[in-house]
C-alpha cells in the first residue's frame, strides 16, 4: 500500500505476480479511502486478511498527513497479523512502474511536494537510483535534469522545468509490490517502515500561545 502521494493505492501480490489491485487519486481522503480499498482488493482476490504473510508500504517522500495514514495502517496490520512490514521508497515504485511501461534510463521521477516544490530522484534505469530522494523547487533542479524524461505528477505540474513529462503520473501499489517481491527474492534488505518526510510538517505548535489553567 502507498499513501505518500494523492494516490491511495493497494495491491495483493503472491510472490510471482499481482493478484489484485485498486486505487483512487484523492489528496484529501487518504484516511477515508485506504481501508475500503484494502477490503476491495482482498474481496477481488477471494482471500481474507489473515492470508497475508507480509506487508510493503511506501515510505515516501510525501506530505506528513497522507504518508502517515499508510504507515500507521501497515504497522497496525503487521502487529495484528504478526507478519513483517517492509518499507520501500515511493519514488522507486514509480520508477519501476515506468520501466514496466517501457521507459529505459536514465530518467528522473518527480512528485508534488506542495509549496511549489517537488520530491525527486534520478535513476540510471528502473531499478537503480543514482541521486535523491530530495525536495527542491523545480527551477533549482531543471538544469541538473535537463534532457532527461521526468516521470510523475511533478513533471506535469511544472512543464517549464520538466518539458519531457512521462507517465505514469501516480504510484501504483502493484508496481511497489512487484519491486519489493523482486528485491526480497534476491535477498535484499528493504527499508524500515518509517516515514521519509525530508522536511518539517506544515502543522506547527503556535508560538506564544495563551495557556489557560484552572485556579
Q: Convert the pLDDT of each residue in 42-57 to its tens digit.
A: 999 999 999 999 999 9
Confidence tier at 12 by pLDDT (50, 70, 90): very high
In the predicted model, what is the mean pLDDT of residues 13-26?
96
Contact criterion met (CB below 8 Å) for 114 and 63: yes
Confidence tier at 207 by pLDDT (50, 70, 90): low
H/E stretch holding 213: none
Contact criterion met (CB below 8 Å) for 26 and 8: yes
pLDDT in tens, 74-133: 999 999 999 999 999 999 999 999 999 999 989 999 999 999 999 999 999 999 999 999
| Residue 39, pLDDT above cutoff 70 | yes
Cβ within 8 Å of residue 169, ≥6 positions away: 152, 153, 156
Burial class (CB in 10 A: 0-12, 13-18, 19+), 106: middle
Output the pTM of the full model: 0.90
Here the cell at position 115 is 509549496
Mean pLDDT of the chain: 93
pLDDT value at position 105? 82
Q: Is the link from the previous residue into 90 a cis peptide, with omega within 30 of 0?
A: no
DSSP strand pairing (128-136 vs 55-58):
unpaired
Amino acid at each position: 500500500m502507498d499513501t505518500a502521494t494523492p494516490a491511495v493505492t493497494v495491491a495483493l501480490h503472491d510472490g510471482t505476480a499481482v493478484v489484485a489491485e485498486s486505487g483512487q487519486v484523492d489528496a484529501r481522503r487518504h484516511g477515508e479511502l485506504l481501508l475500503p480499498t484494502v477490503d476491495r482488493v482482498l474481496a477481488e482476490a477471494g482471500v481474507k486478511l489473515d492470508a497475508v504473510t507480509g506487508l510493503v508500504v511506501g515510505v515516501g517522500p510525501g506530505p506528513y498527513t497522507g504518508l502517515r495514514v499508510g504507515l500507521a495502517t501497515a504497522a497496525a496490520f503487521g502487529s495484528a497479523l504478526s507478519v513483517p512490514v517492509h518499507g520501500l521508497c515511493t519514488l522507486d515504485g514509480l520508477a519501476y512502474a515506468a520501466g514496466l511501461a517501457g521507459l529505459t534510463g536514465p530518467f528522473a521521477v518527480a512528485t508534488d511536494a506542495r509549496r511549489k516544490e517537488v520530491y525527486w530522484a534520478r535513476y540510471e534505469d528502473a531499478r537503480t537510483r543514482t541521486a535523491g530522494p530530495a525536495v527542491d523547487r523545480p527551477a533549482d533542479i531543471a538544469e541538473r535534469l535537463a534532457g532527461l524524461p521526468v516521470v510523475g505528477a511533478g513533471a506535469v505540474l511544472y512543464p517549464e522545468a520538466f518539458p519531457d513529462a512521462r507517465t505514469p503520473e501516480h504510484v501504483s501499489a502493484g508496481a511497489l509490490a512487484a519491486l519489493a517481491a523482486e528485491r526480497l527474492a534476491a535477498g535484499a534488505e528493504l527499508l524500515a517502515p518509517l516515514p521519509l518526510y525530508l522536511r518539517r510538517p506544515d502543522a506547527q505548535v503556535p508560538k506564544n500561545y495563551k495557556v489557560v489553567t484552572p485556579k
